[in-house]
Structure formats: structure tokens, C-alpha cells
């Protein structure tokens, strides 16, 4: 009997377990439905991604997949909006507490620059004709500074990111329609060029991102005025090309034919070098002069080595034009600069010997070599 009772108890326990598993499975099905529903709803709140790629050279940025609208920048493509049909809606900008800076980094190197996300552009889509504009004011929310409407798009810009448009979009037939289908953020990076320059960073590709939350007002299915938010992630990839010299082109043969002054019994000669330095320049190019061999004066020496003629070098476009005066280097540390910016800087060097007493030189070949080092002024 004890054995039977034990068996009965075991069977009873087994039955209860089966019922519990069955009930749990039913509950799990209901929970899974809820989880699936929550996932579907949460997907509507996933951050939209706006990615911009640019090349920063010298004092300007060339956006490869962006476009400028006056002082503002936006992407050249639109972001898909996830909206609900409504009978009326009011365009808005952003929630409070938005990012005001973006950190751009390349390995251990980084720079922080101001970002002003101050606008939003809406593309209204096929339902645009279903809405008409009506003046709208909400006392607790400021109105944006600029609202530019067209048949298919709307541009909203404001100094206060929490502002809303001055007009609402109301359906003409009181039916519900999708308010807009696409959007893209409008922003400024006013100090980026200067920040890169002052940070003295190496060339490379710098990455960074910020996330902002856009929002607009709309009439819900129950007739209440509410708002809908959608986060936007703005990522940047900036290829920074630091000032550099890529090539130097020198035109000039270096020949200095002698010109005799019979009356004064002197001899003179001159030659010009026309130089074009290519690269990336923001503040000009630096020239450093040196004699070869080092430490010697700048003299033309005869082929027999017994006679020398001191010569001078001038750079008319340099900030210190007198480089060498009668064989002696005039520059502090041998350095002068040619101002300019862009991808090419041109200037000339004038080499000459002047009024050398004819009795001190012979009719021979004279030559010398000097070196000029070029580098960008940072």
C-alpha cells in the first residue's frame, strides 16, 4: 500500500508538472506576443543615421556627400521618416539638452569643435496636397525664426532648438494622412577649420558623432495634440590634409653673362630663378638658405680656384627680401617666408654680382652652389 500511495503521489506530481508546463507555455505565448509588440514599437524609436564625409584642406572643407545651404550644412540625401497618419501636424525642431560639441578623433589625436544643429528640412511626399497651412501659435513654445515652405518640402531654422513652425498642416477633407515622408538635419560647424589649425594635428581621417532628438506636434487618433520624437545620429568622417609641400619646380639655367662697364671698369651679371611650389598651404611657404659646402660664403669661384666673386640673392616676394648681400647671408637662421595659401605658391629668386672691379677677375668660368629648403608655414 505504501508503494501504491507513493506511485499515486508520483503520478499526481507528474500531472501537476504537465499542467504547469502547459500553463507556462500559454503564458509564454502571451509574453512573446507582448515582447514582439514592444520590439516593433521600439524600432520606431531607433536613431536615424546621417553620415557626412568631408575633406579639410587649408581653410575650407569639401563635403563629398553633403551640401551647403548658405551658412548651413546638410546631407545630400534624405532620411526615411517613421510617422503616423494624422489630421493635423506642426513641424518642430529638437528637444532640449542637445549636443553643442562634437569630438573628432584619429587614434590618440582628437579635436573638439562646436556643432550648431539649428534646423530641420522636411520632405512632405505624396500627401502634401492633402494638407493646407493654417496659422498656429502655442504660447509655451517659441516660434522658429525661419520657415520656408514649398509644394513638396519645408525648411525650418531657429536660434532656439525647441521652436516650432508658425503654421500647422491641416487636412482638407478631415481624413488622416502621413504628415511627411523624409527629413534631414541642418547644422553648422563654425569653428572646425580654425580648431584643426590651432590643435596642430597630423594628417589623417578623424571620426566623430552626435545624437540629437527631433520632434514635431500632431493630432492623435483621439483628437489630442501630442508630440512625436525621433533621434538622429549625425556621424562625421573628416579627412584632414595638413599643410605640405608635394613638389618644387625651378625654371632658370643659372647662367650669369658678364656685362662690362667700360667707363667704370667694372663687371656685373644677373640671373633669375622662377619657382613654383605645389602642395597644401594655409600660411605660405618657408625658405631656408644654406651654402654648400656649409659654413662658406656665397661666392662664385673660378675653375682654377684662385679667384672668387661674391654674389647676392634677393627674393622680391619674401617677407625679408634681402637673402644674401655680397656673399654674406643676411637672414636670421637663414630663413624667410613667401606668404600665400592654396595649392600653389610662385615666386622668384634674383641672383647677381654687381660692380666687381674688372682688374680683380679674369676671363674664366665661375660657378657656385647654394641650397634652398622648402616647407609649409604652419
The pLDDT tens digits for 120-146 are: 999 998 888 999 999 999 988 999 999
Q: How confident is the model at residue 4 (pLDDT cuts 50, 70, 90)?
A: very low
Residues 285 and 199 in one domain: no
| Residue-level pLDDT at 127 | 82
Q: Identify the residue with better confidence: 163 or 46.
A: 163
| Residue-level pLDDT at 306 | 81
On whether residue 24 sits in a domain, the answer given is no
On whether residue 29 sits in a domain, the answer given is no
On whether residue 30 sits in a domain, the answer given is no
On whether residue 4 sits in a domain, the answer given is no
| Residue-level pLDDT at 304 | 84
pLDDT of 253 above 50: yes
Q: How confident is the model at residue 59 (pLDDT cuts 50, 70, 90)?
A: confident
206-225 b/e with 16+ CB inside 10 Å = b? bebbbebbbbbbbbeeeeee
Domain end among 185, 217, 240: 240
Domain end among 190, 211, 240: 240
On whether residue 183 sits in a domain, the answer given is yes
Residues 86 and 132 in one domain: yes
Number of domains in the chain: 2
Q: Quick one: average pLDDT of 271-280?
A: 95
| Residue-level pLDDT at 64 | 94
Q: How confident is the model at residue 30 (pLDDT cuts 50, 70, 90)?
A: very low
Q: Give yes or no for a contact between 244 and 283, defined as CB atoms under 8 angstroms apart.
A: no
| Residue-level pLDDT at 361 | 86
Q: Quick one: average pLDDT of 332-343?
A: 91
CA distance 357 to 366: 15
DSSP line for 360-377: G--SS-EE--EEEEEEE-
Question: Does residue 170 have a cis bond before it (omega within 30 degrees)?
Answer: no
Domain that holds residue 81: 50-240
Residues 110 and 71 in one domain: yes
CA distance 226 to 88: 11
Residues 117 and 175 in one domain: yes
CA distance 65 to 62: 9
On whether residue 138 sits in a domain, the answer given is yes
| Residue-level pLDDT at 98 | 83
On whether residue 141 sits in a domain, the answer given is yes
Q: How confident is the model at residue 283 (pLDDT cuts 50, 70, 90)?
A: confident
Domain end among 180, 209, 240: 240
Name residue, grid cell 477633407: 173
Cα Rg of the chain, angstroms: 38
Residues 55 and 202 in one domain: yes
Q: Give yes or no for a contact between 365 and 256, defined as CB atoms under 8 angstroms apart.
A: no
pLDDT of 32 above 50: no
Least confident of 257-261, 320-324, 344-348, 360-364: 360-364
pLDDT tens digits, one per residue of 190-211: 999 999 988 888 889 999 999 9
Residues 234 and 249 in one domain: no
Residues 256 and 294 in one domain: yes
- Please state, rounded to an integer, the average pLDDT across all residues of the chain: 84
Residues 220 and 150 in one domain: yes
Residues 218 and 341 in one domain: no
pLDDT tens digits, one per residue of 183-192: 999 999 999 9
On whether residue 258 sits in a domain, the answer given is yes
Amino acid at each position: 500500500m505504501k508503494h501504491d500511495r507513493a506511485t499515486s503521489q508520483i503520478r499526481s506530481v507528474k500531472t501537476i508538472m504537465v499542467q504547469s508546463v502547459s500553463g507556462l507555455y500559454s503564458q509564454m505565448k502571451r509574453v512573446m506576443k507582448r515582447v514582439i509588440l514592444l520590439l516593433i514599437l521600439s524600432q520606431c524609436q531607433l536613431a536615424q543615421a546621417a553620415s557626412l564625409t568631408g575633406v579639410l584642406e587649408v581653410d575650407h572643407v569639401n563635403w563629398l556627400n553633403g551640401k551647403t545651404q548658405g551658412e548651413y550644412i546638410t546631407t545630400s540625401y534624405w532620411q526615411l521618416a517613421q510617422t503616423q497618419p494624422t489630421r493635423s501636424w506642426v513641424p518642430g525642431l529638437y528637444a532640449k539638452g542637445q549636443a553643442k560639441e562634437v569630438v573628432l578623433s584619429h587614434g590618440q589625436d582628437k579635436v573638439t569643435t562646436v556643432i550648431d544643429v539649428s534646423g530641420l528640412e522636411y520632405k512632405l511626399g505624396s500627401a502634401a496636397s492633402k494638407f493646407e497651412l493654417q496659422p498656429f501659435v502655442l504660447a509655451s513654445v517659441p516660434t522658429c525664426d525661419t520657415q520656408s515652405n514649398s509644394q513638396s518640402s519645408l525648411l525650418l531654422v531657429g536660434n532656439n532648438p525647441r521652436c516650432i513652425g508658425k503654421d500647422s498642416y491641416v487636412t482638407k477633407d478631415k481624413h488622416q494622412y502621413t504628415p511627411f515622408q523624409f527629413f534631414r538635419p541642418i547644422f553648422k560647424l563654425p569653428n572646425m577649420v580654425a580648431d584643426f589649425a590651432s590643435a596642430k594635428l597630423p594628417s589623417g581621417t578623424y571620426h566623430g558623432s552626435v545624437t540629437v532628438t527631433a520632434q514635431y506636434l500632431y493630432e492623435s487618433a483621439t483628437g489630442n495634440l501630442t508630440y512625436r520624437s525621433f533621434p538622429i545620429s549625425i556621424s562625421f568622417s573628416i579627412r584632414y590634409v595638413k599643410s605640405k609641400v608635394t613638389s618644387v619646380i625651378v625654371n632658370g639655367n643659372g647662367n650669369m653673362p658678364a656685362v662690362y662697364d667700360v667707363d667704370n671698369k667694372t663687371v656685373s651679371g644677373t640671373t633669375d630663378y622662377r619657382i613654383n611650389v605645389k602642395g597644401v598651404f594655409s600660411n605660405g611657404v618657408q625658405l631656408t638658405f644654406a651654402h654648400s659646402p656649409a659654413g662658406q660664403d656665397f661666392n662664385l669661384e673660378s675653375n682654377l680656384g684662385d679667384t672668387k666673386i661674391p654674389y647676392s640673392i634677393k627674393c622680391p616676394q619674401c617677407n625679408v627680401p634681402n637673402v644674401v648681400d655680397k656673399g654674406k647671408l643676411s637672414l636670421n637662421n637663414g630663413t624667410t617666408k613667401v606668404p600665400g595659401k592654396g595649392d600653389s605658391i610662385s615666386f622668384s629668386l634674383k641672383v647677381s654680382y654687381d660692380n666687381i672691379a674688372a682688374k680683380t677677375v679674369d676671363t674664366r668660368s665661375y660657378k657656385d652652389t647654394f641650397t634652398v629648403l622648402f616647407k609649409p608655414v604652419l
